[in-house]
């Protein structure tokens, strides 16, 4: 799991699916970046082919932790991908801003400030 900063946004790149094997590592990210000031945490789910029963609750937990500090969780999940369909069908569908690509997030980074 890689973490980078670009244009005031932290980017977390998952190496694959968000599942039981890496959910603890993912949910520790807010604590890892607590001292940094970016306004949003961007999670690229592009490489993921699926989310297991731990995936969506983990996204909701991380989003809640970020909201306490007035930060946002933003997702990259391309339309038509299995992960996007799971998010849309599940409880995270309308909760987080979702973009097609990291480039789309960077292009719309002013929107993340609100």
Over the stretch 68-103, which tens digit does the pLDDT of each residue have? Answer: 888 889 999 999 999 999 888 876 778 889 999 888
Among residues 59, 69, 48, the alpha carbon closest in space to that of 26 is found at 59
pTM of the model: 0.84
φ, ψ for residue 65, nearest 5 deg: -65, -40
* Residue 10 confidence (pLDDT): 83
N- to C-terminal Cα separation, the chain: 27
- To the question of domain 2-30+39-112 being in CATH 3.30.750.24, the answer is yes
SS3 27: helix
Length of the chain: 114
Average pLDDT of 33-45? Answer: 80
Provide the edge-to-edge strand list for the sheet that holds 2-6.
2-6, 9-13, 40-44, 72-76, 98-99
Look at residue 113 and tell me whether its pLDDT is greater than 70: no
pLDDT of residue 7: 67
């Amino acid at each position: 799991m890689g973490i980078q900063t670009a244009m005031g946004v932290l980017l977390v790149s998952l190496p694959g699916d968000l599942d039981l094997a890496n959910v603890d590592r993912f949910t520790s990210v807010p604590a890892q970046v607590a001292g940094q000031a970016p306004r949003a945490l961007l999670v690229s789910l592009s490489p993921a082919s699926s989310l297991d029963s731990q995936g969506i609750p983990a996204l909701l937990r991380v989003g809640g932790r970020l909201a306490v500090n007035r930060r946002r969780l933003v997702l990259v999940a391309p339309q038509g991908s299995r992960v996007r369909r799971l998010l849309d069908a599940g409880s995270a569908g309308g909760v987080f801003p979702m973009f097609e690509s990291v480039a789309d997030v960077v292009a719309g980074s002013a929107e993340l400030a609100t």
